[in-house]
Structure 1
Amino acid sequence: MFSHSYFQRALAKREDNGSLRVLKSKQQGTDFYSNDYLGLSGNKDFQKLLLKSITENPELLTGSTGSRLISGNSNTVTEAEEFIAKEHGYESALLFPSGYNANLALFSALPTRHDTIIVDEQIHRSVHDGCKMSNAKKLKFRHNDYDNLEEILRRQTGTCYIAIESLYSMDGDIAPIKEITEIAEKYNAGLIVDEAHAFGVFGYGLVNQFQIQDRVLATVVTYGKALGTQGAAVLTDNLIKSYLVNFASPFIYTTSAHDFLWMSISKGYHFLKSNKELSDILQYNIQIFRDEQLQSPSAKNSPIQAIVIPDNKRLKALHDILSSNGFLTYAVFSPTVKEHTERLRICLHSFNTEEEIKMLAGIIKEFM
């Protein structure tokens, strides 16, 4: 009989150190933990816009019936990609059902076993998983340390790729994108930037803000956060898009999402352009939190504000106190982050009130 003992021991170890993950029903309370930075997932006007599109085109809700290379490539997804590419100032866009799939496709398909991928040590897990599939050599550079990145690049031969996020999800800090872009060009390395948490918060992201599209091999933007929907796009040139369509297994061997998803993404762009005040309100709320003078490694304009509490049990105690007061936050235990860097991850939104933000900060201050 097959033995489950290894799985039991692994789960028991996590339970003992307070890091066991369990699925919970969606909780009621004041939201300081979701990635819905601009509140679009619950925005009534946005919902009405999507409902109108469905009412006029009910076929949007039907399944795609196959992969995009067989029967799943509709006019809706093709037009959405053309629109997104133009909006971001790229030649091409390729849509995926999630940011995880987009990164898996990029990093499994582009590098070969003879290449080197140099990743920021805090890059998202999806990039690490994609690197495994590529069989390329993977190296890490110290977080946001472009001097360390150049040191590593200087010692490499052959084709190199660099993987960074523009806004990091654990520390809530911003990458030195301009400096890293210059280093990538100096060593002829392909730079890939994940903008999952920056898109919508900082316009169309920092690559767009700095107008360096022609200096970045590929940018990933995701729509499950500030846009309040789901999916992701790889922004790149026509050649790389064609290569991904031909060689990226996560794209080739999966059924396409239904057209409702692609439509909701396109509508989301239009809604963002018509409601630019949402990002201004978000920044105002971030400043209210920053004015409380809580120590944090996060950028002053980031919707992600991390409070480091380097002990799983102490972190759990604070998390429980906040929960009992109706505040929903996310405690990040080791080993998700390095031991002694455990943190409370606070996400601020355009819909949070000044009173809620100050009450949250007050409880944390009292605990600290």
Structure 2
Amino acid sequence: MKKLPLKLEKRLQKRKDDNSFRELPGTLPGIDFFSNDYLGFSKSKNILEFSNDVLKNSQNLNGSTGSRLLSGNHPLFERAENMLANFHNAEAALIFNSGYDANVGFFSAIPQKDDFILYDELAHASIRDGLKMSVARNYKFRHNDLEDLRLRLGRLPNTEASEIYVVTESVFSMDGDSANLQMLVKLAEELNFNLIVDEAHATGVFGKKGEGLLQELGLEREIFARIHTFGKAMGCHGAVILGSRQLMDYLINFSRSFIYTTALSPHSIASIFAAYRFLENDRTALNVLRENIQHFRSEIKKNALEDLFVKSESAIQSCIIPGNFEVKRISRELKEKGFNVKPILSPTVPSGRERLRFCVHSYNSRPEISEVLKLLANFV
């Protein structure tokens, strides 16, 4: 095979020198405190059986055969999108192949040349990549700092031709903390901007039925666009953008990550449908997850670890341990004791903000939570 260009070899070597070289893991033994499967839905036999029942009436069982604008718009899409719009109290819904595709497709299509986008500095990589593809000008504001956002909004030129978009996350993927959504909605009304909220890590965790943080707060109808993903708590794959019917029409016509890709298979859509129906009808896992999150927070305090953890009420609990070498060492020691907790290294997070990212699940037991934090207190 032809060798990799020298400049690419040097980039790889630098990753190794910085102790930040990424490799695909093999088998992952140990108690799971690292996956995004918050409710255990990825392993649910009930959801699998229900999705198989849904599939029985599907015309093409294995593949979608093309993009949704050609041959891939199988009947399950309409059924699932109607269900999602109803569940999330939205006018309309449009399914994308992944959360990454949804964010790239939205931000590369919606904001126009004369528009402005302001985004939280800790916004997910998929949002940032979408912004890189946008023709609109974009600026970051300090994490969860509404005064800084207000200041930056005030610096924008006041032109009638411009729309302003502000994007944040209801639960941030690396810190697990949340934006002040009530104040953001008030600010949007005051300053007349369009608010976009990514609910990837709030879906299936917040809300009476797991609808997300916006619906828990009763704010869903005040948001220009919401993005929910299915690869976390819902235990399957794909994503949905929620908003007005006109917004969906625009995305169908101009979002390249929607138009120019093979649609999700009937099996994928059946899994989404089944996971949501299970969540709506059985909240046992949701209730246990919430109890486990509270137990995790109480054990942080009990082990005098509060200064190391980012304050979070979500399923993501991040312990800041500066330095790639040090955070990998502690992760390795926990693994030797039977606990799988993944280190998050720079450059994924800023240098000095490396962390162990604990993911709490409905299937973690209280003794497991207590033990892993007791061990952590000894190792740090």
TM-score, normalised by the number of residues in structure 2: 0.93
Report the Cα distance in structure 1 between the residues aligned to 2:52 and 2:254, rounded to whole angstroms.
Answer: 36
Deviations, residues 256-308 of structure 1 (Å, cap 9, x unaligned) = 11111112111111100122121110111112211122225544421100000
Report the Cα distance in structure 2 between the residues aligned to 1:356 and 1:84, rounded to whole angstroms.
Answer: 35
Q: Does 1:146 align with 2:146?
A: yes
Across the two proteins, how many residue pairs are aligned to each other? Answer: 367
Q: Is the 8 A contact 1:173 1:299 kept in 2?
A: yes
Change (3 A) 1:242 1:211: same
Q: Which residue of 2 aligns with 1:26?
A: 27
Q: Which residue of 2 aligns with 1:93?
A: 93
1:173 is aligned, of 172, 177, 190, to 177
Q: Which residue of 2 aligns with 1:309?
A: 321
Report the Cα distance in structure 2 between the residues aligned to 1:256 and 1:7, rounded to whole angstroms.
Answer: 33
Q: Which amino acid aligns with 2:247?
A: I
Q: Is the 8 A contact 1:105 1:250 kept in 2?
A: yes
Report the Cα distance in structure 2 between the residues aligned to 1:60 and 1:149, rounded to whole angstroms.
Answer: 48
Q: Which residue of 2 aligns with 1:6?
A: 7
SS in 2 for 1:95: strand
Q: Does 1:240 align with 2:247?
A: yes
Write out aligned runs for 1:98-137 (5 A). 98-137=98-137
Deviations, residues 188-215 of structure 1 (Å, cap 9, x unaligned) = 1111000000010012011212222221
Q: Is the 8 A contact 1:141 1:149 kept in 2?
A: yes
Report the Cα distance in structure 2 between the residues aligned to 1:314 and 1:118, rounded to whole angstroms.
Answer: 34
Report the Cα distance in structure 2 between the residues aligned to 1:26 and 1:186, rounded to whole angstroms.
Answer: 52
The CA deviation at 1:26 is 3.4
Change (3 A) 1:151 1:182: same
Report the Cα distance in structure 2 between the residues aligned to 1:106 and 1:138, rounded to whole angstroms.
Answer: 14
Q: Does 1:17 align with 2:18?
A: yes
Write out aligned runs for 1:173-322 (5 A). 173-202=177-206, 203-292=210-299, 293=301, 294-295=305-306, 296-322=308-334
The CA deviation at 1:2 is 7.7
Q: Which residue of 2 aligns with 1:363?
A: 375
User: What root-mean-square deviation, in Å, do the aligned CA atoms of Structure 1 and Structure 2 show?
Assistant: 1.5
Q: Is the 8 A contact 2:58 2:266 kept in 1?
A: no
Q: Is the 8 A contact 1:98 1:230 kept in 2?
A: yes
Structure 1 unmatched runs, 5+: none
Q: Is the 8 A contact 2:47 2:271 kept in 1?
A: no
SS in 1 for 2:123: coil
Q: Is the 8 A contact 1:218 1:236 kept in 2?
A: yes
SS in 2 for 1:6: helix
Greater shift in the superposed pair: 193-202 or 182-191:
182-191
Q: Percentage identity across aligned positions?
A: 41
2:342 is aligned, of 310, 322, 330, to 330
SS in 1 for 2:27: coil
The CA deviation at 1:156 is 1.1
Greater shift in the superposed pair: 159-168 or 299-308:
299-308
Q: Is the 8 A contact 1:298 1:304 kept in 2?
A: no
Q: Does 1:70 align with 2:70?
A: yes
The CA deviation at 1:243 is 0.5
Q: Which amino acid aligns with 1:24?
A: P
Greater shift in the superposed pair: 260-269 or 163-172:
260-269
Report the Cα distance in structure 1 between the residues aligned to 2:58 and 2:113, rounded to whole angstroms.
Answer: 46
Q: Is the 8 A contact 1:119 1:141 kept in 2?
A: yes
Report the Cα distance in structure 2 between the residues aligned to 1:58 and 1:107, rounded to whole angstroms.
Answer: 33
Q: Which residue of 2 aligns with 1:351?
A: 363
Report the Cα distance in structure 2 between the residues aligned to 1:219 and 1:210, rounded to whole angstroms.
Answer: 14
Report the Cα distance in structure 2 between the residues aligned to 1:233 and 1:58, rounded to whole angstroms.
Answer: 21
Deviations, residues 155-195 of structure 1 (Å, cap 9, x unaligned) = 11332111100001111101101111111222211110000
TM-score, normalised by the number of residues in structure 1: 0.96
Q: Which amino acid aligns with 1:290?
A: R
The CA deviation at 1:121 is 0.5
Deviations, residues 298-344 of structure 1 (Å, cap 9, x unaligned) = 44421100000011111111011011112111111111111111100
